[in-house]
């Protein structure tokens, strides 16, 4: 299972992970505690021999952490052909206002 790490000091949620031997890397996001998971990023690993390691970072430019006032969850899954991993590491940004 890959590790998923927050990249801090950014305007948008940004994350990185270690390389996985898969055909696809899928990032899923859930906004709020009652939200549903949706795929927000898919990286397709090239089938031909790679000269360099594939991209292992992503920034969610649709969420501005300076104005966002909720909790957002991210998970990364590996997928080989049509089989998606059954478990995934998760990171959380909690920007709910303090009471």
90 and 71 Cβ atoms separated by less than 8 Å: no
* Per-residue pLDDT tens digits for 11-54: 999 999 988 888 899 999 999 999 999 999 999 887 777 677 67
Confidence at residue 1, expressed as pLDDT on a 0 to 100 scale = 61
Q: Kindly report the CATH class assigned to 4-94.
A: mainly beta
Confidence at residue 13, expressed as pLDDT on a 0 to 100 scale = 96
21 or 96, higher pLDDT: 96
- Report residue 8: phi and psi, to 5°: -95, 175
Cα angle for residues 55, 56, 58 (degrees, 5° grid): 95
Q: d(Cα 20, Cα 67) in Å, to the nearest integer?
A: 33
56 and 17 Cβ atoms separated by less than 8 Å: yes
Residue 77: CB atoms within 10 A of its CB come to: 21
- The residue extents of the domains of the chain are 4-94
Mean per-residue pLDDT of the chain: 91
């Amino acid at each position: 299972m890959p590790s998923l790490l927050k990249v801090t000091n950014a305007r948008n949620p940004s994350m990185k992970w270690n390389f996985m031997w898969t055909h696809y890397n899928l990032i899923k996001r859930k906004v709020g505690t009652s939200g549903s998971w949706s795929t927000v990023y898919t990286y397709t690993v090239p089938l031909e021999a790679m000269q360099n390691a594939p991209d292992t970072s992503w920034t969610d430019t649709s969420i501005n952490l300076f104005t966002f006032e909720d909790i957002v969850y991210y998970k990364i899954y590996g997928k080989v052909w049509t089989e998606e991993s059954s478990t995934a590491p998760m990171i959380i940004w909690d920007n709910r206002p303090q009471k």
